[in-house]
Homo-oligomer: A and B are copies of this chain.
């Protein structure tokens, strides 16, 4: 259980100032607190672990945790504790001390940690021990972590894709979308993605192997854009956006289409979500919609990991990260998600080893 030295160190933390129930979060809505210290030992009798954070993951769902517990999204994910507790999110970390038989000192883990240099995790149920360290460890904040298995579950498991089917992905260059497109190509599907800049569109076509891609900000008529790329309609829609995009997609779905939905980023900063009008299409096209939360499907992680690790090794899956340096850059990195500033998966390096 490590050396029996009592070490108390400074522990910088990123803390939300107050709940943000509507509007776009700003960098100044978070503070970097330098007032805390942490003892790098688990308490006597605890089954917890002390982590040294290496990489933190910035994910769109975290917007919901910024709302008050009375907000509708608080039933999706619990609210952060503003003013006193650090933000909680996915990350990659090294175990410095452990009272838990599943983790030993020196293990690398991914899962829910605190936005801080170090974290004492009392109940490490949501931590996964990292099995393969011959890939960059930051991958476990993305392609081999929560966003990766999100893409796999939503596309491969829930939508049951078949070769030749036509797949549309919104927020396609993000952590989840870039992988959905590549899984779709590996299944011999035709896949089109949309993103919010020409640079991202280039990435989709030239890096991730999307057959086509378009910048939705340059399309005044989303319906026309979809008809251009899907003259015969869409079999599978991987929904990351919601609102107007969903409304435009529905009439362009094909018979027996499937939609998997794990997020609707366009709606997160609105006080009242946009209305979606074209729901009769669900009936007309016999569409099945699968809402899901990836943590319900973590029993599939080993299956996903072996498959994806192999694809990465063979060069069949590529992965683009947008890396912010230092815990102090985390607030800007997180809020950048909502203006689409990041190119690829947004991670924050807290420490190297």
CA distance A17 to B289 in the complex (A): 38
A interface residues (Cβ-Cβ under 8 A, vs B): 72-73, 75-76, 242, 246, 251, 261-264, 267, 272-293, 296
Chain B residues in 8 Å Cβ range of A251: 72
Check A72–B284 contact: CB distance below 8 A: yes
Q: For A274, give its contact among B73, B242, B277 (CB under 8 Å).
A: B277
Residues of B within 8 A of A278 (CB): 72, 273
Q: Sorted from nearest, which 8 A-B pairs have the closest CB atoms?
A: A275-B275, A282-B291, A76-B284, A289-B289, A283-B291, A287-B291, A273-B277, A286-B291
CB distance from A21 to the nearest CB of B (A): 14
The answer to whether A282 touches B276 (Cβ under 8 A) is no
- The answer to whether A283 touches B262, judged by C-beta atoms less than 8 angstroms apart, is yes
Q: Which of B73, B242, B272, B286 makes the CB contact (< 8 A) with A279?
A: B242
Expressed in whole angstroms, the minimum distance between the Cβ of A282 and any Cβ of chain B is: 4
- Kindly list chain B residues whose C-beta atoms are within 8 Å of the C-beta of A281: 72, 291
7 A–B contacts from the bound complex (CB under 8 Å): A72-B251, A261-B283, A267-B280, A272-B277, A274-B277, A288-B289, A288-B291
- Smallest CB separation, A214 vs chain B (Å): 23
Report the copy number of this chain in the oligomer: 2
19 additional A-B pairs beyond A276-B277, A286-B292, beta carbons within 8 Å, are A73-B280, A76-B283, A262-B283, A263-B283, A272-B277, A273-B277, A273-B280, A274-B275, A274-B277, A275-B275, A276-B279, A281-B291, A282-B291, A283-B292, A284-B293, A285-B291, A286-B291, A287-B289, A288-B291
Query: How far, in whole Å, are A334 and B284 apart by their CA atoms in the complex?
Result: 21
Of B72, B283, B284, B292, which contacts A280 at CB under 8 A? B72
- List residues of chain B with CB within 8 A of the CB of A277: 272-276
Give the nearest-CB partner of A270 in chain B. B277
* Chain B residues within 8 Å of A293, by CB: 283-284, 286
Residues of B within 8 A of A287 (CB): 289, 291
Contacts of A272 in B (CB 8 A): 277
Q: Please, which residues of chain B bring their CB within 8 A of the CB of A292?
A: 283, 286
Contacts of A288 in B (CB 8 A): 288-291
B242 touching A284, Cβ below 8 Å = no
B274 near A76: Cβ-Cβ < 8 Å = no
With A277-B272, A279-B276 as known contacts, state yes or no: A284 contacts B246, CB within 8 Å. Answer: no
Which residues of chain B come closer than 8 Å to A73, judged between CB atoms?
A: 280, 284
Q: A279 to B246: give the CA distance in the assembly, Å.
A: 10
Residues of B close to A296: CB separation below 8 A: 286
Interface pair A261/B284, CB less than 8 Å apart: no
Residue ID in chain B nearest A76 by CB atoms: B284
**CA of A296 to CA of B256, assembled, Å:** 10
Q: Give min CB distance, A324 to chain B, whole Å.
A: 27
Q: Nearest-CB distance from A162 to chain B (Å)?
A: 18
Q: Which residue of B lies closest to A290 (CB)?
A: B288
